[in-house]
C-alpha cells in the first residue's frame, strides 16, 4: 500500500507537517511520500491519501482544493484523511470561549468531506516565521490587532501530529490485514 501525502504550503510550515506525517507512516510500515498538490501528477497508483493545506482567512490554499476537485473520483474510492494548519498561538479557545481549531477549519472542509468522505479531518496549529512573510503580510502584521492574531513562533504540536499519523497507519494496517 502506497500513500500520497499531498499538501499546499505557503511558507513551509504545512510542508513540514506533511513530511513528518509521511515519515511517520513510512516508519510504521505504510510507505508514504509527501508531494506538493500542484506537482502530484497522476494519483491513481496510490492506495490512500493524506491531504493537507495551510489555511488563510478561513480558506485552504487554492491548489490543494483544486487537487481534491480534480481527483475527487479516485479520492472518493480510497481511504483519505484531511488536515489543515493555520491557527497561531497556544490557546484552544478565544476570550469568548470559541474553539479556535473549529473557527480555523477551512470553509471548504464541509464540501470536501461531502464529496470524498474522508476518514478524519484535523486542524493543527501552525507556525509563523516573520522572515518568510511577503511585503503585504509584513505590512498587515504591523497593525496592533494583527500582531495578536498573528503571533510569531512555532505552535505545531509534533506529538499530536505524530499520534494522528500513527492512528492513520494503524487504520490502514487493520484494513489491509486478512480477515
Which grid coordinates are listed for 178? 486478512
pTM: 0.82
Element (H, E) at 115: helix 109-116
Model confidence at 106, pLDDT cuts 50, 70, 90, reads confident
Model confidence at 138, pLDDT cuts 50, 70, 90, reads low
At 130 the pLDDT is: 62
Taking CA atoms, 100 is separated from 57, 58, 65, 139, 144, in Å, by 13, 12, 22, 24, 20
User: Which residue ranges form the domains of the chain, and what is each CATH number?
Assistant: 3-176 (3.40.50.360)
> What is the rounded CA–CA span in Å between residue 67 and residue 40?
9
Position with higher pLDDT, 38 vs 87: 38
In tens, the pLDDT along 19-78 reads 999 999 999 999 999 999 999 999 999 999 999 998 877 778 899 999 999 999 999 999
Model confidence at 179, pLDDT cuts 50, 70, 90, reads very low
Give 176's strand partners.
none
At 150 the pLDDT is: 62
Amino acid at each position: 500500500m502506497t500513500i500520497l501525502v499531498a499538501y499546499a504550503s505557503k511558507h513551509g510550515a504545512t510542508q513540514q507537517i506533511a513530511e513528518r506525517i509521511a515519515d511517520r507512516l513510512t516508519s510504521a510500515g505504510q510507505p508514504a511520500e509527501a508531494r506538493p498538490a500542484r506537482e502530484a501528477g497522476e494519483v491513481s497508483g496510490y492506495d490512500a491519501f493524506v491531504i493537507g493545506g495551510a489555511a488563510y482567512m478561513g480558506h485552504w490554499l487554492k491548489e490543494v482544493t483544486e487537487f481534491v476537485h480534480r481527483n475527487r473520483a479516485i479520492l472518493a474510492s480510497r481511504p483519505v484523511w484531511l488536515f489543515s494548519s493555520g491557527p497561531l498561538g497556544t490557546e484552544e479557545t478565544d476570550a469568548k470561549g470559541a474553539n479556535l481549531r473549529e473557527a480555523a477549519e477551512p470553509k471548504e472542509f464541509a464540501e470536501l468531506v461531502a464529496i470524498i468522505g474522508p476518514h478524519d479531518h484535523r486542524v493543527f496549529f501552525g507556525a509563523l516565521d516573520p522572515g518568510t512573510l511577503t511585503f503585504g503580510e509584513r505590512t498587515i502584521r504591523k497593525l496592533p490587532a494583527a500582531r495578536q492574531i498573528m503571533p510569531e513562533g512555532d505552535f505545531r504540536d509534533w506529538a499530536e501530529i505524530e499520534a494522528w499519523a500513527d492512528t492513520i497507519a494503524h487504520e490502514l494496517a487493520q484494513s489491509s490485514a486478512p480477515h
